[in-house]
Homo-oligomer: A and B are copies of this chain.
């Protein structure tokens, strides 16, 4: 039988959600993943299927139908795969996890704007904004499960949505020295965050890979765009990231050379 196909960027957090879902449900082979190289022009056949939009991931069903939006695809797969859903069965509990999931969009946008910021004078503003969102999530978890670790009794749909973003934000730890401050305002979300990061279903990426691939984001260049003075994107497939040195932490000092980054021989 034909499988659904997910077209995605390597280590994309939005498709990592789908990988986490499949891992949690023990069905890692239920979907075929095909990598798209965003540093090259998009394959015309795929572009025709997606009607010109280039946002990834997209899912192609076994019938050739196209779905976009990672949260839509996540919920779709959770609904159609055999076995118990990851979403909470109880409608109220599902609404609660959906309220938490609704916070993910602003959270993600804030973190990406923060890492891409090029103005040192704005660093604290971005940090405070992200901390405010963490504080809000802390309050949400205190409201719904003050003594627990996850939102409910185990890693669930909300965790599958947020964890790839927590891992992505390794780029903030590295390039911005970001860390959750000590204190009760963050204790509950810190516990949640740590448990999400440590869960075995979420090991698709490493800090080293994120930090190396997202160096160009830290210099303000997203989606495979080239940084001025460079000829190879940090997202390039070759040379592979394992062979490259760790990039410099100081993003505000300007780019290292292709050679120093291990991007050319």
Contact = CB atoms under 8 A, between A and B. Distances in A.
Interface in A76-122: 76, 79-80, 91-92, 94-96, 98-99, 102
Which DSSP category, helix, strand, loop or mixed, fits chain A's interface?
helix
Interface string A47-84: 00001000000000100010111011101100110000
B95 A139 contact: no
A30 to B, nearest CB: 14
B99 A79 contact: no
Contact of A91 (B76, B92, B99): B76
A128 interface: no
A67 B51 contact: no
Given A51-B143, A61-B92, A139-B51, A98 B79 contact: no
A69 B99 contact: yes
A65 to B, nearest CB: 6
A95 B78 CA distance: 11
A67 B72 CA distance: 21
Interface residues of A, number: 23
B79 A67 contact: no
A37 to B, nearest CB: 25
A57 to B, nearest CB: 13
Given A51-B139, A65-B92, A92-B61, A99 B72 contact: yes
Nearest to A68: B99
A139 B53 CA distance: 12
Contacts of A68: 99
A3 to B, nearest CB: 15
A95 B63 CA distance: 14
Given A69-B102, A102-B69, A75 B95 contact: yes
Contact of A72 (B65, B71, B98, B143): B98
A99 B80 CA distance: 17
Contacts of A92: 61, 65, 67, 76, 80
A238 to B, nearest CB: 34
B51 A75 contact: no
Given A68-B99, A72-B98, A72-B99, 9 more contacts: A65-B92, A67-B95, A67-B99, A71-B102, A75-B98, A79-B91, A79-B94, A80-B91, A80-B92
What 6 A-B pairs come out closest when comparing CB atoms?
A: A76-B95, A79-B91, A72-B98, A80-B91, A67-B95, A72-B95
8 contacts: A61-B92, A67-B96, A67-B99, A68-B99, A69-B99, A71-B102, A72-B102, A76-B92
